[in-house]
Structure formats: structure tokens, C-alpha cells
Amino acid sequence: MRGLIALLNVSACVTITIVVLTMSAHAQAAEEIPGARQIDRSAMQEVCESNATIEVDPKGTFQCTVCPSYTDFQGNNRESFDLQAVYQGHFSAKNAEQLLLVMAGCESHASGLGGSILLTRDRTIWKKSGYFKGDKPLECLSFKSRDGLDRLACFAGDAHFGTASYWINAVSYKDNSLHVDPLLQDIGANMAGGFPAAGYCYEQEINKFEKLPSDSGFTVRVTQSRGLAPPAAEGSCGETEIPMEPAQTVNLTFQFDGDHFVLTPGSKDGLQAIKNFVPRQ
């Protein structure tokens, strides 16, 4: 968890580089393109707006060396726009090949330190169908909805002043617009130098985020621990030794009915245990 908080503070996550695969118009639910080296350069040219600004960093990751015109820091050549992940599927068009690219950089913290780009293949080239500032998930699971489009359940997070927050949303891109439905909120940690919350130092970590074997939903496991900061303690959480209570593990299941994700009845007590773990000020 502390490593992830530090990661969020510098607006970075595990780099995933990929290669564009041929897709059927009737493919299964969208999926992250795994393991290979890089996507088609023509797709990156649409992202970067100029072939001259495309580079591959030492890790083999595509990046734009000049911030594109649609970002906060447009024209800035001292910051890069880095490819983090790519998902292939049918996000806004059932009969077109589409890619969803997750990008980091070229945006202010207020704008989410990055965003996602929806690309649609038009014959032999890729065209940008939408840019969604601040939409920068750490990981997504994909599901085929009744309307033939792909719906995502995405885990994301952010950190400010030593306190991190994490959430899971249902996300769709129908009509080339971003649609977000919150599924799990109120998860976080202040152990990277944050100040106590109602007197508590605490850690909550999503350490399992997986599809059910039937693809009918997904499961989440949250591990959480907390400890009361001594009244006389100086400094912030993570800088003072705090006696922590025994860790709790909470498991949740969300079912997907083809349109919506719904928390199962057996998970409702677990959701309350997460929400009530840290007293709200």
C-alpha cells in the first residue's frame, strides 16, 4: 500500500506496452492487450498529433514528447504523455475496431494527471473518437453488455498530502462520452505522512480485483487495519509508531446483469464494514 501511495504521488503506475491485434466485429468482451512490446505507430500518431513527437522510452513504452493540443500542458516539451495501458473492444460502436488508451502526464493534478483516449479504426487509420481527462484507471475488467458494447469495472486511486483514496467505478463510453457509475468508495490510507482521521492512522488496500469464473461479475478483497494515534504524538501517520489493531479482511461480490453491476446481498454487511472502518469527521 505505501508503495502504491508513493506511486500515485508521482502519477505513475506499472507500465504496460502492447501490440495491436486484429479484432472481429463480434469479439468477446473487451480485454487488455497484454505482454507485447508496442501498439501500432499510427495509433500513437493520432494520440501525439505528430509523428515527430513519438518516442519509445528505455522500457519500450510509447510516449509523446510534446503535450498534445487537447491537454492542460499543450505544447510543453518538458513533460511526456506516456502510454500506460490499452484495452481493445467495442466501447461506443458495435461494428468498429476500437482501442482505449490510458495515458499519464500532460495534465495538472486537478485534471487527474492524465486521461484516456478512445480510438476508432477508419479503414487503414485510427481516429480519435474522444478524450476523457482524468479517466486514468490502474486496472479494468471488461464485460459485454446487452447492447453489444463493452462495459468496464475500473479500479483507480489518487493521493494528496500523504493521504490516498481508492475507488471502483463502472465505466462506459456510449455515444463517445464518458459515463461513470460509482460502485465502491470510501477506501484509503493515511500512512504515507497523512494526518490522523478522527484520531486514527489507517490503511485500506484492495488486494484482489478479479472477474468471477463465469464472467458474470467480479470480486473484491479489501484488507484494512487502523490504530489510534496517541494524543501527544507529534508528526503525522507513518512518522510515529502506532499500535495497530488486528487487520480485517472484507470480501465483496458484484454481479453483472448485462446492464448494471449490483452488490450481492451477502456483501452488504462487508460494504458497511468498509464504510464505517474510519470514523468520519
Element counts in the chain: helices (H) and strands (E): 3, 15
Q: Helix (H, G, I), strand (E, B), or coil: what is residue 276?
A: coil
CA separation, residue 245 to residues 105, 143, 189, 225, 263 (Å):
38, 38, 15, 6, 28
Q: What is the DSSP code string of 116-142?
A: EEEEEEETTEEEEEEEEET---SEEEE
Cβ pair 51, 110 in contact under 8 A: no
Residue spans of the domains in the chain: they are 2-275
Contact indicator for 228, 212 with CB cutoff of 8 Å? no
Q: Does 60 have pLDDT greater than 90?
A: no
**How confident is the model over 165-224, as pLDDT tens digits?**
999 999 999 999 999 999 999 899 998 888 888 889 999 999 999 999 888 999 999 999
Q: CB atoms < 10 A from the CB of 46, how many? A: 18
Q: Which helix (H) or strand (E) holds 250?
A: strand 248-256
- pLDDT per residue as tens digits for the range 2-27: 333 333 433 333 333 333 333 333 34
